[in-house]
Structure 1
Amino acid sequence: MALTIMIADDHPAVLYGLRRLLENAPRSRFVIADAVEGGQALLRSLRGRDCDLALVDWYMPPERGPSGRELLARLRTTFPQTTLVVMTASQQPAVLAASLAAGATGLYDKRECSSQLPRILYQAAQGRLCVSPSLEIVLERHYLTRYHWGQENHQALTPREREVMRLIAAGYTGRETAAQLKRSEKTISRQRRSALDKLGLNPDSVPTLAPG
């Protein structure tokens, strides 16, 4: 059965290349419904259409409408029947996790071999999480298990754990964090471990609280 797909990217050359790739892929069953250059155009084009997939660039200029988390949230709410696949050149774990948390079923690395894209789209359309191998490595390095990919667990942290994680991200050492928060270094270390467990983060993937 053919899969109807919408593509959104702010670079016309990328849109042209993606269209050609998908239309000419071996045993291709993709029907390109439209290829647009921004979030607002995508939302407008989807109205009144039955579309299986939306392949969306994570970042597009704000003057062309919403992008990133905001665009995915609107797509998920307004067109819940459309499967979302995000393409990005970023290897920031926060960007990848935000894409999945916002409802993407697939992640495609724009720097990777284009032959990966049809596989990602097909699997995502079947409701199976599919991620480019290079991005999968980033997520596996950053999170303890696949279960934690895209899980927004920050609300599970206590206020004190949030304070510790904020200072870790800012580059504070264990001693400096303890001094800032007026707690012992042992307490700070324990709160860090607890926060990492709740967030499902690999301790080796976040800054270490050096003694100072």
Structure 2
Amino acid sequence: MPARPEPTPVPGPAGSGDTGGRRIRVLLADDHAVVRGGLRMFLATHPDIEVAGEAADAAQAVDLAERLQPDVVLLDLVMPPGPWAEVAQAPPDEPPGISVIRRLRQRAPGVRCLVLTGFSEEEKVLPALEAGASGYLLKDVTPEELIRAIRSVAAGQVYLSAGVTGAVVRRATRAAREPASPLEALTPREREVLRLIAQGMSNAEIAGRLYVTEATVKSHVTRILQKLGVADRTQAALLAVRQGL
């Protein structure tokens, strides 16, 4: 059986994530207690790494990461959201872990997220990296590679396992040969609002569907029209249909 190709850490900005010789503090975020327990015992065998805390859902992951400020959050993408409104308002097909990454990038930029999950599909890998993840590993990773990834991410590097680099390469290849879609300027929430506009929903109906105020929907619609360069909702809906949204 041929050996698995070794991934190459990608250098990050100079000095980012530098632990200065101290122990790397890791927050474990996974809804399976047995997974967290196994990771905790394994990491305890490495003197340069310590487990700063454990989270069983997205809300706990955000709360503990903001309070404890670990160097690395070892994060499963698919976990219960917990009592966190921001996750509840995310697009229905977005894993809660991606909302965690996005929130921590905004509120705790010194905390770096290393995804550890069983999903290698582009629909999971690319949104996680675009949200700000510093690394992406699959759960069949070897123990040696897991430690290497934690150390690399803590040192300010980006680390991708060999099993997911193909998704990144395919995306880059398509982007090089396909014209950019005007919808790429929209945020995930704006795309969701536009999708509902294209389904013929009013602002009030969209507000009810997304559990937000009608004023919030109106604000989204205004930004959508500006970004797409169209004059009204009808033109925006037609553009969404043409783009396959």
Query: Is the shorter-chain TM-score for this pair beyond 0.5, marking a shared fold?
Result: yes
Counterpart of 2:38?
Answer: 17
Counterpart of 2:200?
Answer: none
Asked if 2 retains the 8 angstrom alpha-carbon contact of 1:5 and 1:54, the reply is yes
Asked if 1 retains the 8 angstrom alpha-carbon contact of 2:26 and 2:74, the reply is yes
Q: Of 128, 135, 141, which residue of structure 2 is paired with 1:106?
A: 135
How far 1:19 sits from its partner (Å)?
1.3
Count of residue correspondences: 161
Once residues 55 and 107 of structure 1 are traced to their aligned partners in structure 2, the CA distance between those partners, rounded to angstroms, is 10
Structure 2 CA distance for partners of 1:97 and 1:113, relative to 1, 3 Å: same
How far 1:100 sits from its partner (Å)?
0.6
Once residues 119 and 52 of structure 2 are traced to their aligned partners in structure 1, the CA distance between those partners, rounded to angstroms, is 27
Percentage of identical aligned residues: 22
| SS of corresponding position for 2:113 | strand
Once residues 75 and 20 of structure 1 are traced to their aligned partners in structure 2, the CA distance between those partners, rounded to angstroms, is 26
Once residues 59 and 127 of structure 2 are traced to their aligned partners in structure 1, the CA distance between those partners, rounded to angstroms, is 20
Asked if 2 retains the 8 angstrom alpha-carbon contact of 1:140 and 1:146, the reply is no
Structure 2 CA distance for partners of 1:162 and 1:154, relative to 1, 3 Å: farther
Counterpart of 2:185?
Answer: 155
Structure 2 CA distance for partners of 1:142 and 1:114, relative to 1, 3 Å: farther
Once residues 93 and 161 of structure 1 are traced to their aligned partners in structure 2, the CA distance between those partners, rounded to angstroms, is 25
Cα deviations across residues 106-136 of structure 1 (Å, max 9, x unaligned)? 1011123232111111111222211011111
Q: Of 163, 166, 172, which residue of structure 2 is paired with 1:143?
A: 172
TM-score (norm 1): 0.65
Counterpart of 1:56?
Answer: 75
Structure 2 CA distance for partners of 1:109 and 1:165, relative to 1, 3 Å: farther
Q: Of 101, 110, 125, which residue of structure 2 is paired with 1:81?
A: 110
Asked if residue 4 in structure 1 is aligned to residue 25 in structure 2, the reply is yes
Once residues 105 and 54 of structure 1 are traced to their aligned partners in structure 2, the CA distance between those partners, rounded to angstroms, is 10
Asked if residue 124 in structure 1 is aligned to residue 171 in structure 2, the reply is no
How far 1:161 sits from its partner (Å)?
8.0
| SS of corresponding position for 2:125 | helix
TM-score (norm 2): 0.57
Asked if 2 retains the 8 angstrom alpha-carbon contact of 1:37 and 1:64, the reply is no
Counterpart of 2:64?
Answer: 45
How far 1:138 sits from its partner (Å)?
2.9
Cα deviations across residues 24-60 of structure 1 (Å, max 9, x unaligned)? 24xx411110122112222232344232111111110
Once residues 112 and 175 of structure 2 are traced to their aligned partners in structure 1, the CA distance between those partners, rounded to angstroms, is 20
- Structure 1 unaligned regions, length at least 5: 168-212
Structure 2 CA distance for partners of 1:132 and 1:145, relative to 1, 3 Å: farther
Once residues 154 and 72 of structure 1 are traced to their aligned partners in structure 2, the CA distance between those partners, rounded to angstroms, is 20
Asked if 2 retains the 8 angstrom alpha-carbon contact of 1:85 and 1:108, the reply is yes
